[in-house]
């Protein structure tokens, strides 16, 4: 298939500017390998594997199965006690790129660059984007409204062109991208690549329950709600019966503890731990307590496919979209 050349593909030496987003409890060895082997950039959160030795083993498996570039997502704030160990394991295994979230990426950027690796930082606004650019980030991932998980507040039609004009480094679009048309639209807005998450949940390689995959296929954008109950910060999930019963706001007591300067450092980890346990149970076991992370692009997902089939479909639709647009100018 014809490649797509952007700053991202040139930087990472890949054929297509598509990153398989690092999804908590979803991304795995098989997904990373399939996406990277096809010509995209497969990535995985280090925290998907516990204990740290399991993460190192996963990297070894990936590196045995593909020689193509891969990426690792690291939570870089102080609450992630595994960060130093996971960073070292990634560097030792020759990981080619890092995606940083929720914290200061300064150390990651410094150590990654020593290894010749690239660092992409999640951002939702210009202020944060300028800060990570000054720190030496190689690109930013613009997390827009409509994204799964901790989505940003701004529309991609505003955030992507804004960041593209104000920054000197490439912008990668995230949020609402699941097919070739949304890929083309993102590049038209100024993005040099896209980060695709929700679409890959409904893949054969995703190691989540059938119920979760079926929910991705069966849901529409109106089924996505923002809940504080997962991490204390609004996160996009499918509006299941359990989510409705639980409510979208933190209980008053937890919110007070979270916002109080004295109790905050204790309350926030507890909220995160409880939310992660709820997501883990929902993703890997059948339960009525379903908390399924997903973005508004669920409306574009109509079937379960392999990762390579998803990539093939996206690239084919992308080129078809370009031809349609060219026809409009004649």
308 assigned to some structural domain: no
Do residue 258 and residue 144 come from a single domain?
Answer: no
305 assigned to some structural domain: no
Do residue 158 and residue 266 come from a single domain?
Answer: no
pLDDT tens digits along 188-199: 999 999 999 999
Do residue 84 and residue 186 come from a single domain?
Answer: yes
How many distinct structural domains can be found in the chain?
2
Do residue 67 and residue 93 come from a single domain?
Answer: yes
32 assigned to some structural domain: yes
Do residue 42 and residue 167 come from a single domain?
Answer: yes
212 assigned to some structural domain: no
Check which CATH number belongs to the domain holding 34 and give it.
3.20.20.70
Do residue 104 and residue 242 come from a single domain?
Answer: no
CA gap 151, 252 in Å, rounded: 23
Do residue 274 and residue 248 come from a single domain?
Answer: yes
Do residue 189 and residue 273 come from a single domain?
Answer: no
Residue with tokens 């300067």: 261
pLDDT tens digits along 39-90: 999 999 998 998 889 999 999 999 999 999 999 999 887 777 888 999 999 9
242, containing H or E segment? helix 241-246
Range of the domain at 286: 220-293
Do residue 157 and residue 25 come from a single domain?
Answer: yes
CA gap 265, 260 in Å, rounded: 9
CA angle 43, 57, 193 (to 5 degrees): 10
98, containing H or E segment? strand 97-101
- Indicate yes or no: pTM above 0.95: no
What phi and psi values does residue 121 have, to the nearest 5 degrees? -110, 130
Do residue 198 and residue 51 come from a single domain?
Answer: yes
pLDDT tens digits along 101-150: 878 999 999 999 999 999 999 999 999 999 999 999 999 999 999 998 88
């Amino acid at each position: 298939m014809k490649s797509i050349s952007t700053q991202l593909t040139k930087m990472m030496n890949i054929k297509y500017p598509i990153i398989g987003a690092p999804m908590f409890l979803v991304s795995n060895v098989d997904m990373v390998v399939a996406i990277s082997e096809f010509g995209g950039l497969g990535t995985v959160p280090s925290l998907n594997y516990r204990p740290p030795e399991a993460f190192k083993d996963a990297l070894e498996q990936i590196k045995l199965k593909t020689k193509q570039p891969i990426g690792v997502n690291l939570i870089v704030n102080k609450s992630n006690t595994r960060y130093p160990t996971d960073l070292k394991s990634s560097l030792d295994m020759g990981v080619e790129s890092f995606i940083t979230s929720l914290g200061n990426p300064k150390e990651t950027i410094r150590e990654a660059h020593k290894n010749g690796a690239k660092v992409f930082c999640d951002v939702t606004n210009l202020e944060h984007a300028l800060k990570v650019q000054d720190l030496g980030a190689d690109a930013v991932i613009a997390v827009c409204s409509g994204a799964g998980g901790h989505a940003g507040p701004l529309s991609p039609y505003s955030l992507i062109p804004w960041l593209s004009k104000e920054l000197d480094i490439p912008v990668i679009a995230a949020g609402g991208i699941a097919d070739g048309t949304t890929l083309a639209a993102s590049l038209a807005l100024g993005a040099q690549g896209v980060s695709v998450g929700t679409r890959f949940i409904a893949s054969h390689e995703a190691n989540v329950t059938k119920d979760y995959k079926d929910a991705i296929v069966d849901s529409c954008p109106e089924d996505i709600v923002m809940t504080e109950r997962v991490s204390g910060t609004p996160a996009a999930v499918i509006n299941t019966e359990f989510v409705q019963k639980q409510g979208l706001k933190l209980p008053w007591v937890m919110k007070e503890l979270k916002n109080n300067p004295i109790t905050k450092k204790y309350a926030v980890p507890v909220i995160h731990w409880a939310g992660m346990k709820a997501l883990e149970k929902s993703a890997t076991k059948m339960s009525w307590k379903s908390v399924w992370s997903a973005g508004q692009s669920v409306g574009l997902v109509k079937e379960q496919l392999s990762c390579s089939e998803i990539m093939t479909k996206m690239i084919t639709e992308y080129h078809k979209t370009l031809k349609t647009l060219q026809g409009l100018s004649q």
